[in-house]
Amino acid sequence: MDQELSALIIIFTEFYYWVTVVMMFLIHVGFCLYEVGVSREKNKLNTLMKNSMLIPVITLGFFLFGWWIYFAFQNGPGISGPLKSVPWSEPWNPLMGPHLGGNGNNAAGLTQEQLDLWPRLNGVFWAAFLLFSWTAGSILSGAVIERIRSGAFWLLSLVVGCVTWVLGAAWGWSDTGWMVRLLGYHDAYASGVIHALAGGSALAILIHLGPRIGRFRNDGTPRVLPAHNTWMIIIGMFLIFTGFWGFYAACNIPMTDIDPDDTAQLFSATTIYLTPTTLSAITFNFLMALAAGMITGYILSHGDAFWTFQGGLGGIITASAGNDLYHPYQAFFVAVFGVWCAYKLHFWVERKFRIDDAVGAVAIHGYCGSIGVLLVGFLLWGYPSSPDDTFAPITPWGQFAGAVMMFLLLGFLPCYGMTAVLRRAGVLRIPREVEFAGLDYQLVHLEQTQRDEFSAAERHDFESGGKEDSP
Amino acid sequence: MTSTIDSWSSPTNLGPLYPLVGYEFVMFIACAAALLGFLVWKFRSEHTQYRQMVAELTEPTQFKPASSHSPPTGSPSHQESQDAHS
């Protein structure tokens, strides 16, 4: 009976993550629509391909080293223990491919427990994390549109999507991460480990990249650049919201015996920290945070569609860190606070430092994510961070350290250094002439030439009375 | 033959299902080289492409945004507008 139950749990979990991956694909569809909608007509194809091609780049990187980093670096290494031995995630291990779990050939020294679990969970669990990596890359992509070189962007997104956010997840978003163990860091739905980190990375890149030509007046005030297609933006945002459900589901472990000492067994969904929650709880909180964010964005922007929907996203991101435990009213007011702060900060930073963040990514992901992590420290102060009672409890100072770690140390600093090198090498920004003419300049002219040739041929054939093209 | 499986009759003993078992590290190196090669190719081709575009665009007649492209001479829309003027 126990074996049948274990088999059922494993097969169910495999299918559960597989479905979340399919849902999360919509996040990327949404990001593509949204970014192309924001970019100008003359840059739309380049914008689309810049974002789309991070999919293969990050996928390869995450298979080759990202997945291994997540498991191997949970102790730092050197902070709460050594580098971990995690054979199932090594890119040359048989468990990183189709495997039935038997010990028949080339088991590569795997234990029976690893052979029972990982053949069915490795691929789907890997893919769920990979989709988070794409999201991290896409957050950067929106901020830097219309002036970054694609090669530089893909390299930066490879580092953020396969190294820095994965380190953040290993340290603060795993059941044995050193930040959870020593700081009591709690970030159930990744406000900090993805959003704050990617927002900090985007800010660092924007500082070196500079604003688009003509974005600021001589007195430093920004010019408004209306989106070329508001419908695309709104549909894109709806798709991001839809994909976010998959993201939330993927952050949970769907079926775990949370009281293994009890003979009666108590099954529940848990967070990534193995602390209990329910899908019902996170459904309440997701929707209340969305509602709060949209209302706040609507009021602050006087009904602007872009900021209303961005507000909805920011609301979810702010509340996400504690949405496993918040009451829906708490999720609501946390989201209101986060979006209000992020909106004000966005325009203040834009004016003060001439930061041209084309989609408000630093505000909605970076500021909302950091604020969400900080608020958990006060609202969930004293809660256990793990089922392991030796771990530190949740505290304001643990969360503050976590927010600094995610936004600044793992987000901002590595990208600031790397972007400085790319800038110095002259491979960061596109030439001014090309920026002015439009990144699709060559393609548009090629297509125009093809249309002209076709039109001329069509006119010629028409005027000749169809004698030349008749069968 | 690349297969290590000769029967599906006792699946509990089956481990890896893919061909060329034992060559995983070689495939890893090849895949890493593909990723690195792609990025290097992109940096180089982008450099060449932008240099070429700048050269084109610095000719005075070409220096205009892509979105402001007007219908060329000979196209139906151009012809229609010419007819309307005459």
The interface predicted TM-score (ipTM) is: 0.92
Asked if residue A444 has pLDDT above 60, the reply is: yes
Asked if residue A129 has pLDDT above 90, the reply is: yes
What's the whole-number mean pLDDT along residues A352-368? 96
- What angle (nearest 5°) sits at the alpha carbon of residue A180, between those of residues A178 and A184? 130
Reading the block at residue A35, the tokens are: 């970014």
Element at A253 (helix H, strand E): strand A253-257
Residue A167 exposed, middle or buried by CB count within 10 Å (0-12, 13-18, 19+): buried
Rounded to whole angstroms, the Cα distance separating A225 from A52 reads 24
Asked if residue A466 has pLDDT above 90, the reply is: no
Question: Which chain B residues have a beta carbon less than 8 Å from that of A441?
Answer: 53, 57, 66
What's the whole-number mean pLDDT along residues A3-11? 86
Question: Which chain B residues have a beta carbon less than 8 Å from that of A106?
Answer: 4, 15-16, 21-22
Position A441, amino acid: Y
Question: Which chain A residues have a beta carbon less than 8 Å from that of B75?
Answer: 451-452, 455-456
Q: Which of A304-308, A421-425, B81-85 has the lowest mean pLDDT?
A: B81-85
pLDDT, residue A108, reads 64
Chain A CB within 8 Å of residue B78 CB: no
Buried b (16+ CB within 10 A) or exposed e, A264-275: eeeebbbbbbeb
Query: B5: pLDDT confidence band, cut at 50, 70 and 90?
Result: confident
Reading the block at residue A327, the tokens are: 């009451």
Rounded to whole angstroms, the Cα distance separating A262 from A265 reads 6
Following DSSP, what letter does each residue of A260-289 receive, concatenated? Answer: TTSTT--EEEE-TTS-EE-HHHHHHHHHHH
Asked if residue A123 has pLDDT above 90, the reply is: yes
Domains and CATH numbers, chain A: 2-102+121-255+281-445 (1.10.3430.10)
Contact yes or no for B65 and A101 at CB 8 A: no
Closest CA to A342 of A361, A368, A318: A368
Q: How near does any CA of chain A get to the CA of B22, in Å? A: 8
Question: Which chain B residues have a beta carbon less than 8 Å from that of A433?
Answer: 53-54, 57-58, 63
pLDDT digits (tens, 9 = 90+) for A163-191: 999 999 999 999 999 999 999 999 999 99
Q: How many CB atoms lie within 10 A of CB A280?
A: 9
Rounded to whole angstroms, the Cα distance separating B84 from A30 reads 44
Chain A CB within 8 Å of residue B39 CB: yes
Of B21, B35, B66, which has the smallest distance from its Cβ to A94's Cβ?
A: B21
The residue written with tokens 């380190």 in the block is: A167
Chain B CB within 8 Å of residue A444 CB: yes
Rounded to whole angstroms, the Cα distance separating B17 from B79 reads 65
